[in-house]
């Protein structure tokens, strides 16, 4: 059993990184397809994420490229992806494939609700990411990807 533990953490790390990459690609494709706001919407969302660490002083426009903000937002993005994978792996580790997939879908929906409505209570500036703008979809995609990896 002790030799299984490093393999587990390595798998969690890889799954979290892969889920983070896939969700980023999907989000960029959705923005590119449905919005004419790239790259400003990317910079805006990066500032939203970085404000978790830096505070609200990084939020005011203009939403331009700032490498420090992008780096912090990237760390938060991948950190959350890895945490989500850890929780999902705990939820599904004793389930068969079919039930694991069902649990992954349900988990993704719960995470979507938590991200869209729970985080807004703590970080109110994320309310701007809600709506019918299709940019919210990849948050749940990250969860579904982590379940399938």
Cβ neighbors of 51 (< 8 A, separation 6 or more) are 58, 59, 123, 125
Contact 1, 127 (CB under 8 A): no
Q: How many domains does the chain have?
A: 1
Is 11 inside any structural domain?
yes
Give the tens place of pLDDT for each residue, 38-54.
888 889 999 999 999 99
Range of the structural domain that residue 100 is part of: 4-36+79-148
Higher pLDDT, 139 or 29: 29
Is 84 inside any structural domain?
yes
Whole-prediction pTM value? Answer: 0.78
For residues 86 and 25, give the distance between their C-alpha atoms in angstroms, rounded to a whole number. Answer: 22
Residues in the chain: 149
136 upstream amide cis, omega within 30 of 0: no
Is 105 inside any structural domain?
yes
Is 85 inside any structural domain?
yes
Contact 16, 148 (CB under 8 A): no
Greatest Cα-to-Cα distance within the chain, rounded to the nearest angstrom: 53
Give the tens place of pLDDT for each residue, 85-112.
999 999 998 999 999 999 999 999 999 8
For range 120-129, the mean pLDDT = 89
């Amino acid at each position: 059993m002790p030799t299984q533990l490093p393999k587990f953490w390595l798998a969690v790390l890889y799954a979290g990184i892969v889920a983070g990459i896939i969700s980023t690609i999907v989000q960029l494709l959705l923005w590119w397809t449905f919005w004419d706001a790239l790259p400003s919407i990317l910079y805006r969302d990066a500032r939203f994420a970085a404000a978790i660490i830096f505070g609200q002083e990084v939020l005011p426009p203009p939403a331009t490229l700032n490498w420090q903000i992008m780096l912090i937002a990237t760390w938060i993005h991948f950190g959350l992806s890895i945490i989500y994978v850890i929780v999902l792996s705990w939820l599904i580790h004793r389930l068969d494939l079919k039930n694991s997939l069902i649990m992954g879908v349900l988990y993704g929906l719960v995470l979507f609700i938590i991200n869209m409505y729970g985080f807004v209570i703590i970080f109110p500036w994320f309310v701007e990411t809600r709506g019918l703008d299709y940019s919210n979809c990849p948050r749940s995609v990250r969860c579904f990807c982590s379940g399938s990896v």
